[in-house]
Structures are given as structure tokens and as C-alpha cells.
Amino acid sequence: PDSCEGLGTCAVVCPRGAISMRERVIGRMIVARSGAGLLTVTGDLNVGEGNSGRLVYEIKAKARELATREGAEYLVVDSAPGIGCPVISSISGADLVLVVAEPTPQSLAGAKRLVEVAECLGVDWRVLVNKWDINPGFASRIEEEFSPRVVGSVPYDFRVVVSYSKMVPLLLLSPESEASRRLREAFSRLLEVLR
């Protein structure tokens, strides 16, 4: 029961009718406008609760509703890493998946799995190499693996950590940094794909 996604299939197929479904609150949805003016919808789980595909679905539905109301051109869904139910729910129905990979064997393996899932769901994808300069040789291997779908590479920059802690986007906190410049270039390439 702790890993239940709430689909109800078990209740439907149980020959004895021994399984019943009931709703319970596992957290709350938060709608807020960031300091940069972006409307955000996120979930805050109760202590001990795990993320679920259903939770992501509900958050995406609310985000879609608000994006439509505000006339937003794009809806960005930031997903957890991996290929579990929350990630599948995050990318279902997307126009494009941006796979963020770091230059490590584990990240490359995870990126390959995510690309497979995106392709199974019929979703186009691109790759961004994050912290490429911590292992340039392996970063090159990732770029070769996913060429020509790599939209850019971003260097390690401690100002990213500072931007998280201050809750200010890096592009506003340090617009002239190399990481900001590379992110703007990658975003431009992504917009070309989406248009």
C-alpha cells in the first residue's frame, strides 16, 4: 500500500473483492508566482510520503489550466530523475523532453533510459550536458552518444548553488556568467525545436 499509485487496477481484478480504494491526503499543491514573475505549481508532500504519478498528473492539470488562463506560450515541467511513475507522468503529453545529463557513467545510463521512455511515449527529446567541465572527456562521450540532439553544455558554477539558496534564477542573479550564457544558448536552441 505504501507504494500504491492509486490506479485501482488491483481492486478491479481481485476475484474476491478484498481490495477497496479510498482517497487520502498525501500533501498539498502550491501555486505561487516566483520573484522572476513566473507562475509555478508545485507539490509539498507530507512527511514520509512518496511521490506518485497521480500527484504529478494533478499538478500538471492545474498548471495547464493556469497556463491557458494566463495565455502562456510554454508549460515547463521539471521532473525528478529516473524513469519511475512520476517521471513518466511528467513527460506524458509533452512536446519535448530535455534530458539533463552530467559527465558520469551513472548519469549517461540514466539519460539513455529516459530517452528510451520518451521514444516509447512518442515524445521528442534533446540533451543538455550539465557540469561538463568536471569531466570533459566523459562529457564529449555524452555529446557523441546523443549527437545531433545535444543543445548545449553548461559548466560547473558555484553561483548555481547560490541561486538555489536565494531562490533567484541564475540568469537574474549572475546574467554575465559563463553558465548563464550557455543556458541562454541552449534555451534558444530548444525554442527553435519547439517552433
Residue 115: CA count within 13 A, CB half-sphere: 19
pLDDT tens readout for residues 125-184: 999 999 999 999 999 999 999 999 999 999 999 999 999 898 889 999 999 999 999 999
Fold category of 93-195 in CATH: Rossmann fold (3.40.50)
pLDDT tens readout for residues 2-57: 566 666 788 889 999 898 888 878 888 999 998 778 899 998 888 887 777 788 88
End-to-end CA distance of the chain: 43
Q: Where in the chain is the domain with CATH 3.40.50.300?
A: 93-195
Name the helix (H) or strand (E) containing 67.
helix 53-70
